[in-house]
Structure 1
Amino acid sequence: MVWTDAKHPLRVAVNYAVVVAARHSPSLRLKNWLLRRIGVDVGDGVAWGLESTPDVFWPELVTVGDDAIIGYDATLLCHEFLQEEYRTGEVRIGDRAMLGAGTVVLPGVEIGDDAQVAANSLVADDVPPGETWAGVPAEPVNNNKRNEEASDPS
């Protein structure tokens, strides 16, 4: 399959132009307004860092909950072109979730409410509500171990 079989080139060009404008806009209100025009479901109070990018092929598959923070240069992908396969999937970011700078979220992933993803992580699996994940690929951070190490006087 070639990409033009998946989405009309003119639609992708319009989406791309809107996303580029949103990526460089310092105004969160304008950013959210622009992204809603191409089908991104943007909740109230969402903060997009500069250079953050929702999928340009399938922006209508992106949902970002109220008061979520999408860090600088984060990417939300709803499609993958693989060797033998073309795959799409919704990306859902929960209320008050936070994605660190440079995070990449792959198709079909849900980041739960109040979850946090560390900078430069690659998220290939769902992140449950309230959890903190980090790494490539992203995995849960053992908060109990970190708390024990911080309280150990040795």
Structure 2
Amino acid sequence: MLTFEDKKALAVKGEDCFILAECFFDRAFPRPSYLFNQRGRSAGSAHLQKNLIKFNPILYLQNKTVFIEHVVAHEIAHLITYQLFGRVRPHGKEWQNIMTQVFKLPANTTHQLDISDVQGQLFPYRCLCTEHQLTIRRHNKIKKGTSYLCRKCKSPLTPANE
């Protein structure tokens, strides 16, 4: 799906981020492995103990500039945060400082990309105050006995078509 040039562009941006971090912290960081098989609505994910970053190939192909300018640094900031501070809040002050001080980027915790091409089937559920659209994962958990409450009215979510 991704070309060699696409994968290289992501890796080169990753290397640029590591060089910035090494200059800032005056220490070396091990380079991660990259996979291009992130699924779902996430643009990418950092697997801390494995020193691995996954990128979503569909979202990348539709948003190359955003990935190169923001997503790569976002995920690398997670790895650097882990290597410097261990287990801390994923988007906590340590991660935010790396984003703003080292990479000079806003510390946005979520992306604003169009996810219509990667959004799975949604299932309508309702509570006492509104209708909700749940993912297949939550829908299947409800079918197995898990219950979810509306954050607003605190009533249980039930299938809208029952």
Normalised to the residue count of structure 1, the TM-score between the two structures is: 0.27
Q: Which structure is higher in helix share?
A: 2
Normalised to the residue count of structure 2, the TM-score between the two structures is: 0.26
Higher radius of gyration, 1 or 2: 2
